[in-house]
């Protein structure tokens, strides 16, 4: 378990540095049109023992690569280490129907069985409406708890929620 904590701390520190350096980056235009970024988020519980991902699953009904599924897929068979799959996605400025989700990252079926037996296998998934503003960076964020799980889209710099929230009573 100490090995996992070291990995989570190392990842958090390196991602934090990268996130700070990316805060001032303006999304590049798409075909000359204004654009924004809509990013996934990989984090850990408060006790740093469980990794979780919040991400975009679909944009206007079209499946997109995301941290929720890809982190588990590329880390499958790697033992207890989670391989975070981070997405920096540039999107056009227009209204979207965005399917977002939050889940614990599990690399083995046994992880899911143990989490379910302990009442700690929360997840949330649903669709929200969102219209990005030009030159803004957004991320999917949320909370996973035994009582109330939720996921939403927020402004990366201010933390302001810019979409509806999908909630699940676990």
Number of domains in the chain: 1
pLDDT tens-place string over residues 58-92: 999 998 877 766 655 555 555 555 556 667 788 99
Q: What are phi and psi of 63, to 5 degrees?
A: -65, 135
Does position 19 have pLDDT exceeding 60, yes or no?
Answer: no
Structure tokens at 170: 């676990």
More confident residue, 163 or 67: 163
Whole-angstrom distance, CA of residue 145 vs CA of residue 84 = 21
At 75 the pLDDT is 55
Count helices and strands in the chain by DSSP H and E runs: 3, 10
Assessment of whether the complete model's pTM goes beyond 0.75: no
Whole-angstrom distance, CA of residue 86 vs CA of residue 3 = 21
Least confident of 19-33, 71-85, 141-155: 19-33
At 156 the pLDDT is 93
Q: What are phi and psi of 145, to 5 degrees?
A: -145, 160
Whole-angstrom distance, CA of residue 41 vs CA of residue 56 = 10
At 126 the pLDDT is 94
Does position 124 have pLDDT exceeding 60, yes or no?
Answer: yes
Which residues form the domain of 49?
Answer: 2-168
Helix (H) or strand (E) holding 14: helix 2-22
Structure tokens at 85: 């799959």
At 123 the pLDDT is 83
| Residue 138's pLDDT band (cuts 50, 70, 90) | very high
């Amino acid at each position: 378990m100490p090995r996992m904590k070291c990995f989570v701390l190392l990842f958090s520190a390196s991602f934090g540095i990268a996130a700070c350096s990316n805060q001032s980056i303006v999304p590049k235009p798409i075909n000359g049109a204004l654009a924004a970024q809509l990013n996934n988020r990989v984090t850990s519980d408060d006790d740093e023992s469980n990794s979780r991902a919040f991400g975009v699953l679909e944009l206007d009904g079209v499946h997109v690569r995301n941290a929720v599924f890809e982190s588990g897929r590329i880390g499958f068979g790697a033992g207890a280490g989670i391989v975070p799959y981070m997405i920096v996605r540039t999107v056009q400025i227009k209204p979207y129907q965005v399917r977002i989700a939050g889940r614990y990252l599990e690399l083995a079926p046994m992880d899911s069985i143990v989490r379910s037996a302990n009442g700690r296998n929360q997840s949330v998934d649903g669709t929200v409406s969102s219209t990005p503003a030009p030159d803004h960076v957004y991320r999917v964020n949320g909370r996973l708890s035994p009582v109330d799980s939720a996921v939403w889209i927020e402004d990366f710099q201010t933390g302001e929620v810019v979409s509806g929230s999908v909630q699940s009573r676990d």
